[in-house]
């Protein structure tokens, strides 16, 4: 990760995971599951967590919106895309509600924690596999 990305990360209150993210732990995660199974596991995961409220689920658009109401408050948009049967990609966009110029890495830490929990619930295939698909 270059100096520019490090400085941007330090002075940010949001994180967006993605296929080409410079931090490997924040690259798109792929699971061996159908899209509906991934949505079901995400729903169950947030139902078991105190302080998380699922505001909206749209499987046809591949999005789930979640409010984090414990600790630092945050707003998450989770994107779930089935790229082929039994290969589903998950990305997070997390905005932390803070009056400061930075969340001091909270949103990135939250994304890593959620990926770790999802990896335990589903069969994790790998990160940034989009190049295998021609993207």
Q: Is the pLDDT of residue 9 over 80?
A: no
Q: Where are the domains of the chain?
A: 13-123
Q: Is the pLDDT of residue 105 over 90?
A: no
Span 19-36, pLDDT tens digits: 999 899 999 999 999 999
Beta strands in 70-123 (DSSP E): 74-84, 87-96
Across-strand partners of 53?
67
Confidence of residue 6 (pLDDT cuts 50, 70, 90): low
Quote the CA–CA distance of 97 and 78 in Å, as a whole number.
Answer: 17
> Per-residue pLDDT averaged across 64-84, rounded?
94
> Per-residue pLDDT averaged across 57-79, rounded?
94
Q: Is 114 exposed, middle or buried (0-12, 13-18, 19+ CB in 10 A)?
A: buried
Quote the CA–CA distance of 132 and 128 in Å, as a whole number.
Answer: 9
> Per-residue pLDDT averaged across 74-92, rounded?
96
The 3-state secondary structure of 5-67, one letter per residue: HHHHHHCCCEEECECCCCCHHHECEEECCCHHHHHHHHHHHHHHCCCEEEEEEECCCCEEEEE
Written out in words, the top-level CATH class of the domain with range 13-123 is: alpha beta
Quote the CA–CA distance of 15 and 41 in Å, as a whole number.
Answer: 22
Record the tokens describing residue 43, joined without a space: 């729903």
pTM, full prediction: 0.88
pLDDT of residue 125: 96
Q: Is the pLDDT of residue 134 over 80?
A: no
Q: What is the mean pLDDT of the chain?
A: 89
pLDDT of residue 135: 45
């Amino acid at each position: 990760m270059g100096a520019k990305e490090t400085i941007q990360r330090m002075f940010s209150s949001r994180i967006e995971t993605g296929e080409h993210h410079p931090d490997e732990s924040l690259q798109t995660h792929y699971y061996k599951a159908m899209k509906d199974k991934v949505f079901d596991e995400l729903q169950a995961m947030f139902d078991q967590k105190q302080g998380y409220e699922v505001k909206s689920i749209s499987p046809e658009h591949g999005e789930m919106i979640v409010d984090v109401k414990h600790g630092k408050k945050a707003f998450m948009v989770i994107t779930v895309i089935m790229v082929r049967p039994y290969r589903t990609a998950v990305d997070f966009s997390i905005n932390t509600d803070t009056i400061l110029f930075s969340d001091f890495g909270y949103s990135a830490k939250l994304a890593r924690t959620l990926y770790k929990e999802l990896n335990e619930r589903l069969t994790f295939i790998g990160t940034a596999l989009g190049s295998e698909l021609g993207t």
